[in-house]
Structure 1
Amino acid sequence: MLKPESLTERQALQVEPMPRVLLRLTLSCLLLIAVALLLVYQLTWRPPAHELLTASCSTAVQAPKLVPGQALKVMTWNIQYLAGKRYVFWYDMADGSGPDERPTPEDLAYNLDEVARVIRDEQPDIVLLQGVDDGAKNSDYQDQQKLLQERLADLYPCSTQAFYWKAEFVPSPHIWGSVGRKLTTLSRFHIDSAERLQLPVPDANIISRQFQPKNALLVSYLPLRDGGKLAVINTHLATAKPGDGTAQKQIAATETLLDKLEGGGTPWLIGGDFNLLPLGQYQRLPEQQRISYATDSELHALWEKYPMIPNNTESSGTDRSQWLTHFPNDSRINGPDRTVDYLFYSPSLKRVSARVRRDDTLLISDHLPVIGRFLLPVLP
């Protein structure tokens, strides 16, 4: 005679499969997480803290070496990936509400020719460009450095480059594809070597951080004919967010490099989009435009030590309109209203002249080119 099951035994039989279901669900979730992390790892870019780069010099044109004591003309310009000024992009608004996501192919082509025109007209010895796209979906996967060099090959036999934003896929509805943005340095003079130095990145969770820009210093070393070298540094610092500490950290890392070069007797200059205001401009901005800046500019750590173009007297003085370098993509703003692009240089170099080219560049980019002319030091 079969013994009837007790209530406890029947309950145990009913409950027993549940741990197996939970185990399968847990394992499935862990597998999905692992696949997602692997996908993020494969789609994104993690540059080393220090990377040696190869300078590219044409064999068709023999690039000369710099001569101690010679004049040197340098231009820095954030070309905004050749997008032009007919847009208010989603990222131009603090809340991400800008209506535009990408420029048209026609605007990319027009602004490519315009940037080449300005460079050819100025013919600086060294050109420091920021916001140069390479392989980005929203700029039609162009290699913009290559396109520019094809138009300027007779002027600049040497170049260096370093990415500061790169990913095969960014899962943002405004991008939903690849990004690639780099610093480009063009030189009429020979470049021996170069290196990329990673700057501190903004705080973010481990996933978001993989898709964000990774700002850097591109350092190019130009040999002097009688020995020694000139260090030329190109950079684009992160968009400032007061209180998060990123600007201070990036400026501190930059200062460390400049101090090292200066202490070692190596003449240097640095140019780029620093995304920081000079002394006195914060108070002149409308309140809604101050959100990205600190009352006390983090840039003071550099200007207190080293000469800059434009200096604080120029950028905040009676003729300050001549030294404004940024024309934000914002329908409320009808012209350049702040300075965020600069050239800093070693005290061993002598400033001869400087200016911001404004009249024919207002519609090419949201930044204006800053141009400086220097005398290199004479070796003892």
Structure 2
Amino acid sequence: MANRGFFFGVVCLWVMLFSFPSQGQSLKVMSYNIHHGADAAEQMTLQEIGAFIKESGADLVGLQEVDSLCRRSGNRDQMKVLAEITGMHYAFYRHFAYDGGAYGLGILSKFPIKEQRNERITSMKNGKKESLAFLAVKLGVGKKELVFSTVHLALDQPTRLIQAEEIMRHLAGSEPVILTGDFNALPDTKEIELISERLTFMDQGLAPTFPAAEPVKKIDYIFVSPSLLKKRNSTLVRKEIHYSDHLPLEATLKL
């Protein structure tokens, strides 16, 4: 009887230990401008992009320059296709109508999306004030909720400064936060410094991400709330992946 009781106790302890999520859980995040699913030579690479994302093991992916039912990319719903290839949940929000469809931002997530937030940021076109998309989703990761977001900033700095301020307002009150995107800005610019006042700038090595073939500029970023950074984290630019005109940026967070 004593041996049976001891064995039962060991089994119960084993079940308890393996029933709780690991305190050292890793979360792999990616930011990738997919250039409407085409490489720098305009050869369609959407299937390869999907296969790469699946192989990478990414948990969360922020995507920029995504087409939805546009003629130039074969009238395909690119986020739906990527979700089918990767087996992930997805969200899409358009900047504007384009080429028979829409052009915008996308998110892939291994975690169910509890809420999608479609916000707008300022855009200047031909001297007129318009707007672009800012996409954020609320997710349940283990016992925690977090906001994962992605954005694509303007080419000119005055507009990027306005957009950076708007992004911070959109994220106000949300914690913790992960922000990904193509910011079209170098690391020492005011707009990046403004975002860095609240969110931690990953990839301190400043590895360039554009253009894909011979990268010379770092313009793609991942920012996270300091509360997510309990341990040493790592970042990686996938220099061998040329399915777009940008390189994908990965960050592994030790939660």
CA contact (8 A) 1:215 1:238 kept: no
Percent identity between matched residues is 29
Q: Report the Cα offset of residue 182 of structure 1.
A: 2.0
1:117-167 C-alpha deviation (Å, 9 max, x unpaired): 2112211111111111112222232211122222222xx1x2211111324
Match of 2:179 among 246, 255, 270: 270
Amino acid at match of 2:94: F
Aligned to 1:12: none
Aligned to 2:33: 78
CA contact (8 A) 1:238 1:275 kept: yes
TM-score by length of 2: 0.83
Aligned to 2:211: 327
Q: Report the Cα offset of residue 224 of structure 1.
A: 4.5
Q: Report the Cα offset of residue 69 of structure 1.
A: 6.1
Aligned to 1:191: 113
CA contact (8 A) 1:324 1:336 kept: yes
1:229-260 C-alpha deviation (Å, 9 max, x unpaired): 11101111122x24xx2111100011223443
Paired positions, count: 233
Determine helix, strand or coil for the equivalent of 1:299.
Answer: helix
Q: Matches of residues 1-380 of structure 1 in structure 2 within 5 Å?
A: 70-86=25-41, 103=42, 107-108=43-44, 111-153=45-87, 156=88, 158-167=89-98, 177-178=99-100, 180-202=102-124, 204=126, 214-226=131-143, 228-239=144-155, 241-242=156-157, 245-261=158-174, 266-279=175-188, 296-311=189-204, 314-315=205-206, 323-327=207-211, 335-350=214-229, 351-359=232-240, 361=241, 363-376=242-255
Gaps of 5+ in 1: 1-65, 87-102, 168-176, 280-295, 316-322, 329-333
Per the alignment, do residues 67 and 202 of structure 1 end up closer, same or farther by CA in structure 2, a change over 3 Å counting? farther
Structure showing the higher strand proportion among its residues = 2
TM-score by length of 1: 0.57
Over the residues paired in the alignment, what is the CA RMSD in angstroms?
Answer: 2.3
Structure number with bigger Rg: 1
